[in-house]
Every structure is written in C-alpha cells, then in structure tokens.
Amino acid sequence: MPFRMTEMVGCEFPLFAFSHCRDVVAAVSRAGGFGVLGAVSYTPEQLETELSWIDDNIDGKPYGVDVLIPEVQAVDMSVTADEIVAAIPAQYRDFTRQILRECGIGEDAAQPIRGAQRPNTSLGQELLEVSFNHPVRLIANALGTAPPAMIEAGKKYGIPVAALVGAKEHAMKQIEAGVDIIVAQGGEGGGHCGDVSTVVLIPEVLQAIEDAGADIPVLAAGGIMNGKQMAGMMAMGAAGAWCGSVWLATTEAETHEVFREKMVAATSRDTVRSKYRTGKYSRQLRSGWHAMWDEAGLPALPMPLMSLLSEPVLRAIDKAAVNGNPKARELCSYWVGQGVGLVREVTSAGQVVQQFKQDFVAGFENLAAAVE
C-alpha cells in the first residue's frame, strides 16, 4: 500500500520509531518501519560512532536523526559543563545525597555530570553536520521552532525536516519556518509533551494546516502503542505514527530489565508529568523519586541544571536496582507515555513492527466493514 510518508523517506510502512538506542533504530527500519535516533545527548564523536554502526547494521534501509538546535544558539563557546554545574545550589546536592543514603547507595554517585564539554545548546549544529555525513533520510528538531540553519541544511541535502509540536499554534510557527513534516504529539506521550490529548490535537492541527492553505503531512504521536490506534489516527488524516514508549519494552532498548518489568506491570495511571528530571515538564513512570521531591518541597531547577544534577543519581539508582536493591527499585523511573498500560510483555522491536502492521490492517478492515 503506498503512503505519502513512505515516498518521502523511503520506508515500507509509515511507523516512525523514536529511540535513543541504535539497536532499536536498525531493527525497526529492517522490519519496514523508520527508525529515528535521538541524538540530543551525544557529542559529535559519539554520534559519528552510533551512525556508523547503524550504517553497517541496517541493511541499507532508511533512518533519521533527531537533534536539538535551539532558536537562540549559545555564542560563548568557552562555557563548560563544569561552570554550569557550579550554579547548582548546595541544598539540592545535599538532597540528592540524602536520597542515595536512604537507598543504601554510596553518596559519591550524587556528583553532577562534569567535563569540559559545551552544553547542548552549542552542539546542535555540529550534530547536524555529523548527521549529513551519513545516508539519513530525515532530520527532526526535538524542541522549539526549527531554526533557519536546519531548514537550509535540509534543502541543501534534499532531506525533509520534521518538527515536534504540542499545539496547533506551534504547528503554524513550524510551517512558517519552512518544515516539511509536522509531528503532533499529544499530552499522553512520554518525555517532554504538552497537555492537549492526541485525539484532540491531531484533527486540530490538520484543520489549522488546511485553513492556512498548506500541504504538510502530519505524523500522530502521543500514547500510540498499536496498529489499531495508528489506523485511527490515519483515518483522521494523519500520514503515519511517531512512537517512542512502545520501543522501551523491547529487548533492544536502552532500558534495563527492572524498568521493563515495571512497564509491563504499570497501568495508564502510573505516569506523571514532572519537572524533577530535566527542569521542564516531561511524562515519566511515577516512582518514589517523584514522591521524595514532592515531599521535600524543593522547586525543580531550570534546564539544564536539573538534568545535570538528577541524571547521575538516577543512573546510580538504576544500577543498584538491577543489582537487587529493593529501595532503588521503588525509585526507578524513565520517560514513558500513558500508553504504558497497553504493554503486556517484553518483545523484540521487529516483532512490534509486525504486530503494528497486522493491527493496522485489522483496524482499517473494521472501519471498512462499518462503512459497508
């Protein structure tokens, strides 16, 4: 079956898999979907390594890269992560040490991320340049309006540029900026998201695009965990689905076995939009981590301070949980959408794609039968 998105990016089935794990990206593309590597946390050298591996293991199938180029670039290239970390208040450092003590984990693990690297705000352009040295078929901007540098680079290399939005107003700004694809993510989605539900956002964005006289395909995102949901979004007019959480319960994912077990056991009510990871609201699996911060009454630090403080602590908690620490297990969390309640088992990424295809066909057959 021909789809607009398959023609644009060269995949067989318009199921887009956002993942921080190269194994998921390669597996999804090999199965006929389209893997998109989340590269925001990489250095240019690390991204080069990851993309080279994907090139060698994707069997010539298409894939994309999701980077972050803020609308306002950092101009002081001498600013280091160490200097940013120094701005974290001592009270917050003490609190994370307290969390680790209560879990029976060494306090040294609470040391914030350090290093001479520049913050991500000045790395986005370099990551983009690395990406274009590989046969990528899509570039996506992770946060905010796609800047002119990204739009111009996409046109130069003949690669479509996608941008994520959480409201129709944001979609209009992206269209004015010149993006080729809109990814409309509802509030059910994992990670950074808005508060408008997917089933409302998709037709709202589609109508706004039509009213503006534009012809931009829209990928539906947010809580989509199976092919029948995907079929429903496409029945509304979406050109495909952009999914992230469903891949976290696969054997190839970057998640560890304890979190995957918690995903299988979770319901759709077991997620929370919280600032206590990155400094901005993002949907995560609710855990003791959020309860402890709420009880402490400390407001979340702004981005990127909160991430620099929390990520090393959360990694230490994950490691302890995997090693059998029950208190650490209670605090384990990761980004995941409300669709987690639909996860019933851990399986491979390739099997997820095949199940999506089967459910997608079944969903449209149900609709066709109703029309008849």
- Rounded-to-integer distance, Cα 308 and Cα 313, Å: 9
263-291 pLDDT, tens digit per residue, is 999 999 999 999 999 999 999 999 999 99
Give tens-digit pLDDT for 286-341: 999 999 999 999 999 998 889 989 999 999 999 999 999 999 999 999 999 999 99
Give the CB-side neighbour count of residue 35, counting CA atoms within 13 A: 34
367 has a pLDDT exceeding 90: no
Identify whether the C-beta of residue 162 lies closer than 8 Å to the C-beta of residue 141.
yes
Which residues, at least 6 apart from 37, have a Cβ–Cβ distance to it below 8 Å?
Answer: 19, 20, 22, 25, 50, 51, 54, 63, 64, 65, 66
The beta strand positions in 149-267, using DSSP E, are: 161-165, 181-185, 191-192, 218-221, 240-243
Per-residue pLDDT band for 109 (boundaries 50, 70, 90) equals: low
Model pLDDT, residue 71: 54
Q: What does pTM read for this prediction?
A: 0.91
Rounded-to-integer distance, Cα 30 and Cα 353, Å: 10
How is residue 117 written in tokens?
């690297």
Q: Which two tokens stand for residue 10?
A: 């060269």
Give me the helix-helix angle, 305-322 and 90-103, nearest 10°: 10
| 3-class SS of residue 139 | strand
Position 35 confidence tier, pLDDT thresholds 50, 70, 90? very high
- Res 72: pLDDT: 45
Give percent of the chain with pLDDT exceeding 90: 78
The answer to whether the CB of 330 falls within 8 A of the CB of 288 is yes
Strands 271-274 and 282-285, by their bridges, are: antiparallel
Q: At residue 75, does pLDDT exceed 50? A: no
**Residue 116 scores a pLDDT above 60:** no
Contacts of 32 (CB under 8 A, 6+ apart): 11, 12, 13, 15, 353, 357
> What average pLDDT does the chain have?
91
Q: Can you tell me the mean pLDDT for 92-101?
A: 94
Mean pLDDT to the nearest integer, 158-173: 94
Residue 2: pLDDT band with limits 50, 70, 90: low
Residue 306: per-residue pLDDT: 93
DSSP, res 283 = E
CA distances from 59 to 20, 66, 134, 141, 355 (A): 19, 21, 14, 26, 21
Q: Are strands 138-141 and 63-67 parallel, antiparallel or unpaired?
A: parallel
Question: Is residue 92 pLDDT above 50, yes or no?
Answer: yes
Give 70's pLDDT tier (boundaries 50, 70, 90). Answer: low
- Percentage, residues of the chain above pLDDT 70: 92
Inter-residue contact 119 to 145 (CB < 8 Å)? no
Taking residues 157-182, what's their average pLDDT? 94
User: Which one, of 197, 340, 195, lies nearest residue 281 by Cα?
Assistant: 195
Q: Which residue has the tokens 């694809």?
A: 181
**pLDDT(73) > 80:** no
- The Cβ of residue 352 has, within 10 Å, a number of other Cβ atoms equal to 26
User: How far is it, in rounded angstroms, from Cα 19 to Cα 354?
Assistant: 18
- pLDDT at residue 33 is higher than 80: yes
Mean pLDDT of 181-206: 94
Confirm if 135 and 157 have CB atoms less than 8 A apart: no
CB-CB neighbours of 155 under 10 Å: 13
The predicted structure's pLDDT at residue 80: 66
Sheet holding 282-285, edge to edge: 191-192, 282-285, 271-274
pLDDT confidence of residue 192: 87
Q: What is the pLDDT of residues 7-25, one digit of tens each?
A: 999 999 999 999 999 999 9
pLDDT at 103 over 60: yes
Q: What is the pLDDT of residue 147?
A: 85
